[in-house]
């Protein structure tokens, strides 16, 4: 069949944290395997697009900027949560405006929606246009399960019993009520973000497929339980490895890799908390004091705006011991043989990178699914340790460092992460589960292309 019409995929991103970058990675994979006549319009905010698009972005993917909801005359600083809430108030109108612009730019009506699962209103958009909607969950199966089962969990759990395990949900038996994302049982259950997640669960049943940014073998019970509930639940990740993100040493402007070359195998601690939130100032001080006293070599990725929080004289005092940089090529650093410990908030992408690189974790959760990830890291996979009371103190951090670097328990953690690494590599191999699931997902996406009449 000859094709003369364009198959136009509208990709709608949630422009906060690592969400948009993960969705763009998926779009890149799809573009690389797309049949003729397919184009992608990628819709996110201007700030988000400017950050994640580069010269290496596939030529079939064109960015379009949607309004972030912030009024031009507004000058009062906003917290990350406030920015999310402002953005949510602007949806879906801000996306509808730019969808019309993208349709005019491509000369083709939208043929399919591929969106972050958070953007539940894509279900309504797809139905209005009589086209498919495919959703992408950027984290793991367990966190998706927690939201899918929110009503059931609330009916059997309460804030008063935070230490109880969520045994009623398959795959979450090791998770405590206290570990669940805010808005499931604890926190403001009527906040815009909580409401967004509630609406998402209702609408996801209408999605043609739900892709998860993980691999089958990591959370098999939760994954298999979701399959009868949602259509085409497919672990197609992690994007960390399925889309190459490795940099050459020439891209390492901060000199981290050259510095690591001069250290022994497994001797260095890498500290990085992503680009959304960092621990409070008193904990930054405690972490710095623990590093100073431990004398363990470290690389700390810390924005310049946070340097003033470090104890007086810390940088000079630890100059021979550590390296503080505003930005580090994180995946390359973690892959370096000299790195043996990763201190992180345990976001899902960071978790996947640690598994890929075979590095044990010291975790201090900050938001979202971090608490669940931390619990799984320590109690289920046994590849890391949470800092005591989920807060950095000098004593607690030094104890965690000592456990991972020097104890038999630390060796067991490194062995366990090595096992998960092998499973991850197998899943993303030629015949692996993630590879096969991606093929199924792309088939779901591109099959509808044949319905377009030439």
Phi/psi of residue 82, nearest 5 degrees: -65, -40
**Active-site residue, 19 included:** yes
Whether 292 contacts 318, CB under 8 Å: yes
Q: Which of 8, 65, 68, 116 is catalytic?
A: 116
CA dihedral angle for residue 213, residue 18, residue 144, residue 374, rounded to 10 degrees: 100
Q: Measuring CA to CA, how many Å separate 24 from each of 21, 56, 63, 351? A: 5, 12, 10, 19
Q: What are the CB-based long-range contacts (under 8 Å, 24+) for 355-358?
A: 355/218, 355/383, 355/417, 355/420, 355/421, 355/424, 356/238, 356/240, 356/241, 356/331, 356/421, 356/424, 357/331, 357/421, 358/414, 358/417, 358/418, 358/421
> Which of 19, 147, 336, 345 does the annotation list as catalytic?
19
268-271 and 298-301 beta bridge pairing: parallel
Q: What tokens does 311 get?
A: 């104890």
Helices vs. strands in the chain: H and E counts, helices first: 19, 13
Measured distance CA(384)–CA(370) in Å, rounded: 14
Distance between CA atoms of residues 367 and 361, nearest Å: 17
Do 35 and 60 meet the contact criterion of CB atoms below 8 Å apart? no
Determine the Cα–Cα distance for residues 276 and 249; give it in Å rounded to an integer.
26
- Degrees to nearest 5, angle at CA 214 with 268 and 357: 20
The answer to whether 443 is a known catalytic residue is no
Number of Cβ within 10 Å of residue 37's Cβ equals: 17
H/E element, 235: strand 233-235
Confirm if 387 and 359 have CB atoms less than 8 A apart: no
Structure tokens at 176: 């405590």
Three-state SS at 269:
strand
Q: Which residues sit opposite 66 in a β-bridge?
A: 45
**Residues involved in catalysis:** 19, 116
């Amino acid at each position: 069949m000859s094709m003369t019409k364009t198959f136009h995929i509208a990709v709608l991103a949630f422009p906060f944290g690592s969400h948009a970058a993960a969705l763009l990675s998926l779009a890149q994979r799809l573009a690389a395997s797309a049949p003729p006549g397919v184009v992608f319009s990628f819709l996110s905010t201007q700030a988000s697009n400017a950050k994640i698009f580069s010269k290496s972005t596939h030529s079939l993917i064109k960015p379009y900027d949607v309004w972030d909801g912030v009024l031009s005359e507004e000058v009062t600083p906003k917290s990350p949560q406030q920015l999310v809430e402002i953005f949510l108030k602007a949806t879906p109108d801000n996306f509808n405006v730019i969808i019309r612009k993208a349709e005019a730019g491509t000369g083709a009506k939208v043929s399919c929606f591929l969106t972050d699962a958070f953007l539940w209103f894509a279900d309504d958009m797809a139905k209005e246009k009589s086209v498919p909607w495919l959703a992408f969950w950027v984290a793991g199966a367990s966190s998706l399960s927690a939201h899918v089962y929110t009503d059931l969990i609330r009916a059997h759990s309460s804030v008063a019993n935070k230490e109880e395990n969520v045994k009623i949900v398959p795959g979450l038996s090791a998770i405590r009520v206290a570990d669940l994302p805010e808005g499931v049982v604890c926190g403001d259950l009527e906040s815009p973000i909580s409401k967004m997640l509630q609406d998402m669960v209702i609408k996801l049943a209408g999605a043609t497929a739900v892709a998860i940014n993980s691999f089958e073998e990591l959370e098999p019970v939760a994954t298999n339980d979701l399959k009868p509930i949602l259509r085409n639940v497919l672990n197609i990740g992690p994007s960390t490895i399925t889309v190459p993100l490795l940099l050459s040493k020439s891209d390492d402007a901060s000199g981290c890799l050259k510095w690591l070359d001069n250290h022994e195998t497994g001797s260095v601690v890498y500290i990085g908390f992503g680009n959304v939130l960092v621990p409070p100032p008193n904990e930054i001080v405690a972490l710095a004091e623990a590093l100073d006293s431990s004398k363990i070599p470290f690389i700390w990725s810390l924005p310049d705006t946070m340097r003033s929080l470090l104890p007086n004289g810390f940088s000079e005092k630890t100059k021979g011991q550590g390296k503080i940089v505003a930005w580090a090529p994180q995946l390359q650093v973690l892959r370096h043989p000299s790195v043996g410990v990763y201190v992180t908030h345990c976001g899902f992408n960071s978790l996947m990178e640690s598994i890929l690189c075979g590095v044990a974790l010291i975790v201090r959760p900050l938001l979202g699914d971090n608490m669940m990830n931390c619990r799984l890291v320590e109690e289920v996979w046994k590849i890391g340790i949470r800092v005591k009371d989920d807060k950095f103190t000098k004593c607690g951090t030094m104890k965690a460092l000592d456990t991972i670097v020097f104890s038999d328990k630390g060796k067991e953690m490194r062995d366990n992460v090595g096992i998960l690494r092998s499973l991850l590599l197998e899943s993303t191999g030629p015949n692996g589960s993630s590879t096969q699931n991606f093929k199924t997902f792309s088939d779901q996406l591109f099959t509808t292309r044949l319905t377009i009449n030439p």
